[in-house]
Amino acid sequence: MAQRNFLLQFLSLAALSGTTLGMSKLITTLYALELGASTAQIGLISAAEALGMVLLTLPAGLLIDRLGSRRLYLLASFLPAALHLAILLWSNWLWLAGLRMLVGTCVPFRSVAMNTLFLQRLPELGLNKAGWFRGALMIGMLLAGPWLGGKLYEYFGFLAFACVALSFAGMAFWGSGFWRQEQNQKEKSRSRSNLRQLLTEPALRNCCLIESLSSATGSLFATFSLVLCIEQLHWSQSQAVALVTTQGLITVLSLFILGPRLSSLKAHHAYLFALASACMALWLFGWAESFYGLALAALLLSLASTSVHLSNVGRLTKLTLEKGGVSGLFSLSQTMGMLGGSLIGGLLSHWLELRQLFPAWSLLLLAVAGAITLIEWRSNKRRLT
């Protein structure tokens, strides 16, 4: 009974955390549009948060080992609450970008802390529940968060940031009772050795590159789809938010329902399927104008990202390397992809119209996928010789 209660409370915290992040991202985009930010500036605002995450993803684990999860989780919840209130002090896109970067530096501490606690309790809860944390997080981030963020901004405007601040504070109070202070682990030399092994493992390197490319494509959609719908297609705000929510629903359903079928594909078949689906989705984003056309594109993009993720996780579980380091580098590759998608998309928007950005990204996707294939082929050839 105690384990069941913990699991329900922890999953509710994960859902609340995902919801808070999801509505924060959407409210930020809508507020940037209200400020009159250009497409490139919106891309930089989104990239700023990802940059903050990149800078502290690896140090977060080391600090948690030294100071424990509880105090860092509380700090990484209360500080973003204060930062979201500070957004209200000045109506300027640079101010917004700077504060979003500071918010991004807090995200790794919460995510790593929650992963640490969940992994500590997983043997007691049962390994069959290993995917429940990610599922609960995505339900909040991709479904509840965008929907709630759209409603809050519709009723309160930029004051919706205060609601986000309250949600961050709520996470701190709700989660404070879960944490067990860990014993400091002093295995620094082994961690350094493992890091060298991780960086020289071809399969891990290729999985991280492919996951980073997939995350960049997802970040491009998350950052610029709202701008496309509202600014160029002249949709209402509710229609644009409905498209983002639809994409989130499809992603969650594909992970829970289609997961076993997609994971049964061989890795290279899954990657080819994902590449074809993603390119078709990006071309649809460039040409379709109806809700159903863009919803089909969102469906294809969700299937592509799910296929890539499940294939990568399947490959990583077969590695004999220490899984903590594998997970850390894999998470870093996802964050780097999020940063790259927003930043490169923003830069390309200086030369391309928004309707041209998505098809152009498909060409970039094909080029990078070809480069990754070449790298893996050369690596396999070197190992055989």
pTM: 0.73
**Helices assigned H by DSSP within the chain:** 2-34, 39-67, 69-86, 93-125, 132-138, 145-156, 160-175, 188-199, 202-227, 237-256, 259-263, 267-287, 291-317, 323-348, 354-384
Query: pLDDT tens, position by position, for the chain (385 residues)?
Result: 567 778 888 889 989 999 999 999 999 999 999 999 888 888 888 888 888 888 887 777 667 656 767 778 888 899 999 999 999 998 899 999 999 999 999 988 888 777 767 766 766 776 456 567 777 888 888 788 988 999 999 999 989 999 999 999 998 888 776 665 434 444 443 444 456 677 778 888 888 899 899 999 998 988 888 888 888 888 888 888 888 888 888 888 877 776 666 656 788 888 999 999 999 999 999 888 888 999 999 999 988 988 888 788 777 767 776 655 676 677 788 888 887 888 898 888 888 888 899 999 999 999 999 998 888 787 777 766 6
Residue-range domains of the chain with CATH: 1-176 (1.20.1250.20), 190-385 (1.20.1250.20)
Q: Is the dihedral of CA 315, 318, 321, 323 positive or negative?
A: positive
Q: Tell me 184's DSSP state.
A: P
Closest Cα partner for 251 from 140, 108, 113, 369? Answer: 140
pLDDT at res. 185: 40
